[in-house]
Structure 1
Amino acid sequence: MSRICHRQIQSKACQKAAWPSHKEKCKVNQRAHGGLGDVPAPLKDLRAFTSKHRPSLAEAGIRALDACADPSRTKKFLLVVFLRSRPDSRRIETMFYATGADVVPFDMFPQAEEMRGMLRLAHEENVRTGFMGTLNVILLCVDTGTSNVMPVGFDPHTPLEPLSMDWKSCLMKKLNEGIVS
């Protein structure tokens, strides 16, 4: 399993070590969704979509921020992927249609400080496990106002697929056609 997606399978020890970061993410999500006990369906769908496309999203974030060449960019910028719901989709990997993706400064978000705090926690955890750093990818569904922040660990040896097109076109194709790796 590649280093950019190894966190999908975690032991009890890894889960315990990740708890501080997870706890902070939960607090941010609760505030963003009105403190609801149950996770709203749009957020569940977005999380499932994010999970399916995690390797592609991680690679796009690394390339978009040029994170391995200039890790300091990850503290100032994040990758935002803009989505629209596809209510007629029967597959998790095609539940959303990507309309765009851009590198955006943290300061564009009202919750920038909370997002930076999440990034710091994820960064500390990733550095402990051998990564060079961490960046954030945020998926934003514009028709429901739902968002999901995905931290990505990276290092200079992160395996990246050769691209036949630019990172943005490649990401749009994979998300919109439901291509998962």
Structure 2
Amino acid sequence: MSDRKPLFSDFNQCHSCDKSKTQGATLFRCAGCLFGLYCSKECQKKAWPEHKSRCKLNQKTRKLALDNYDSKLLSSFMDKHRVTLTAAALSALDIRNRPESAKSHGLLVLVRQRPAKHAEHAYLALDAGVVPLDDNALGGSADEIKEEALERKRTGVLGVFLIIVRDVDSNLRSIVPVEFHPPLLTAYNERKLWKEWMIKKLNQGVSV
């Protein structure tokens, strides 16, 4: 789990043939554990001998996570780190130069719950990246979620982008729409190393 690239690739490529969304693959999850990701029934069948034991383990892990999951904790974590997440998303999506990117892509942050007394320390950030706003990223009902986000757009606001924080153990996620407007785009500093900066802030529990 220390290697961030394989962890994030689990989210956007077939676990059998490694075909990715960028290569035109339409991906679906194993109905049993919700972790195995495949581009076809053939790939799922081919991967089953290897996935079988992992599937059972994933189901047990997910059940334990759900049994101990505080639905408000992930939202509280995001609220505490809203400034950091917003700044990272603005750079990751290049909103200043390409505001239209917010209509089709969002920032996904992968986290894992850890023991903590305060919400800002409740999760360990593992990886992050820009992903298409589809059912896979948003946990279903992508069109409804995007439409709901756009309904929050007020006069004078240029657009709305989405930040998705997903717990890799429970597969649960919290989604926050963020409005952007000229003053916000003028105020923020673009960061080429936005991911490294963001993960360090989140893991240190720095909430401002």
Asked if residue 59 in structure 1 is aligned to residue 87 in structure 2, the reply is yes
- Between the aligned partners of 1:132 and 1:97, the Cα distance in structure 2 is 32
Q: CA deviation at 1:155?
A: 2.2
Number of the residue aligned with 1:118 = 145
Matched length: 139
Is the aligned partner of 1:138 residue 2:164? yes
Cα distance change of structure 1 residues 143 and 111 upon mapping to structure 2, 3 Å threshold:
closer
Aligned CA-pair RMSD? 2.2
Structure 1 residues 171, 125: CA separation in 2 closer, same or farther (over 3 Å shift)?
same
The one-letter code matched in structure 2 to 1:104 is V
Contact 2:110 2:167 in 1 (8 A): yes
The code of the aligned residue for 2:205 comes to G
1:107 to 122, 130, 134: 134
Higher relative contact order (CA 8 A, sep 6+): 1
Q: TM-score, normalization: structure 2? A: 0.60
Matched, 1:49 2:69: no
Alpha-carbon separation, structure 2, partners of 1:110 and 1:73? 15
Q: Indicate how the Cα distance of structure 1 residues 111 and 95 shifts in structure 2: closer, same or farther if over 3 A, else same.
A: closer
Q: Which amino acid aligns with 1:101?
A: A
- 1:153 to partner: Cα distance: 0.7
Rounded to whole Å, the distance in 1 between the matches of 2:89 and 2:129 is: 10
Q: Residues 135 and 116 of structure 1: is their aligned pair in 2 closer, same or farther, counting only changes over 3 Å?
A: farther
SS of 1:89 mapped into structure 2: coil
Task: Look up the match of 2:97.
Answer: 69
The answer as to whether partners of 1:93 and 1:180 remain within 8 angstroms in 2 is yes
After TM superposition, the score normalised by the length of structure 1 is 0.69
Identify unmatched segments of 5+ residues in structure 2: 1-67
Give the structure with higher Rg (CA).
Answer: 2
**Structure 1 Cα separation of the partners of residues 145 and 183 of structure 2:** 24
Distance 1:116 1:61, change over 3 A: farther
State the match for 1:15 in structure 2.
Answer: none
Q: More displaced, 44-53 or 71-80?
A: 71-80
Which position in structure 1 is the counterpart of 2:177?
151
Moved over 6 A (4+): none
Deviates more, 1:167-176 or 1:40-49: 40-49
- Report what 1:175 is aligned to: 202
Alignment of 1:29-44 (within 5 A): 41-44=69-72
